[in-house]
Amino acid sequence: MDAAELKAEFGNDLVFWGGGCDGQTMLFRGRPEEIKTHVKEQVKIFAPGGGFVFQQVDNIMANINPECIVAMYEALSCRD
């Protein structure tokens, strides 16, 4: 689903719990810099106006590279 479309259509009526990082594709297969870019883009879409709780889309699986998890959280603490 398109994050910007969801925010535009439902952002005044719903709280988005998740959507901060795609855990099945980006977190699993992405490189740390790609993950940081992805997270920053997702937060830029969902955060304005409130109604957003950062959470990855899926559970973090055991075989995720720890550097990728760190990159996800670093992107939150270093937003532009």
pLDDT at 71 over 60: yes
DSSP H helical ranges for 1-80? 3-10, 26-29, 32-46, 66-77
The β-bridge relationship of strands 52-53 and 16-17 is: parallel
Residue pair 4/41 in contact (Cβ under 8 Å)? The answer is no
- For residue range 38-54, list pLDDT tens digits in order: 999 999 999 999 999 99
- For residue range 14-29, list pLDDT tens digits in order: 999 988 998 888 998 9
Rg from Cα positions in the chain: 12
Structure pTM? 0.86
Give first-to-last CA distance, the chain, whole Å: 25
Structure tokens belonging to residue 21: 């990082």
